[in-house]
Each structure stands twice: as structure tokens, then as C-alpha cells.
Amino acid sequence: MSKKAQVSVVAFMLAVVILILGLSFAYPVNQVTTDAMNESSDFLGETGGLNCTGTTDNYVTATCWIADIGQAYFIGGIFALAGLIIGARILWG
């Protein structure tokens, strides 16, 4: 196998690993975002969370929007990185 083919195979394996990493991060990031956006109480009885459904404060509403959209950008960025690695190997292979 030539050196160019070996580099292409390693780049493809790296892209697949990053893609799997993005898929494995999707559910935990969704859980953390959901926990942060909903009002909940811990075992001490203290409440936490943003309470996005029942707020009229503009700052909390903006934070809820950013938290909700941010998870899509984070996972999408990981997928874009994997696609960038594959695309770079195809274009400049």
C-alpha cells in the first residue's frame, strides 16, 4: 500500500471516530440541556434550573433559547469536523 493510501485510510478512520464521538455525545448533551432548562429540586429540597416554560424574564428566555439551540450547534460542529476531514482527503488526496 502506498503512503498516500495509508494517509487516506488513517484520515477516514479519524473521521469515523469523530463521527462516532458526535453520536455518543448527542444523548448526554440533550439530557444536560433538558435538566438545565427545567425547574427541578435536588435531595436537599433546593430548586434549580431555568424554568423555561413559566418565565416572563427576557434574560431567562434568551438563555433558554441559547441553551436549546447550542446543543444542535455543538453536535453539528462535531459532525462538520468529521465531514471536513473526509472532504479534505477527497479534494486534496
Residue 29 domain flag = no
Residue 26 domain flag = no
For 40: left if phi > 0, alpha if psi spans -120 to 50, otherwise beta; the answer is beta
Contact, 48 vs 35, CB < 8 A?
A: no
| Chunked mean pLDDT (size 10), the chain, 93 residues | 87 94 94 85 74 85 91 94 90 78
Task: Enter the pTM of the model.
Answer: 0.78
Residue 91 domain flag = yes
pLDDT at 49: 80
Its domain, for residue 84, covers 34-42+49-93
Residue 10 domain flag = no
Helices (H), the chain: 3-37, 58-91
Q: Check the CA dihedral 81-82-85-87 and report its sign.
A: negative
pLDDT at 52: 85
Contact, 51 vs 34, CB < 8 A?
A: no
Residue 66 domain flag = yes
Residue 2 domain flag = no
Q: What angle do CA 52, 54, 59 make, to 5 degrees?
A: 55
pLDDT at 79: 95
pLDDT at 1: 81
Residue 9 domain flag = no
| Number of domains forming the structure of the chain | 1
Q: At which residue does the C-alpha cell 439551540 appear?
A: 69
Residue 16 domain flag = no
pLDDT at 93: 65
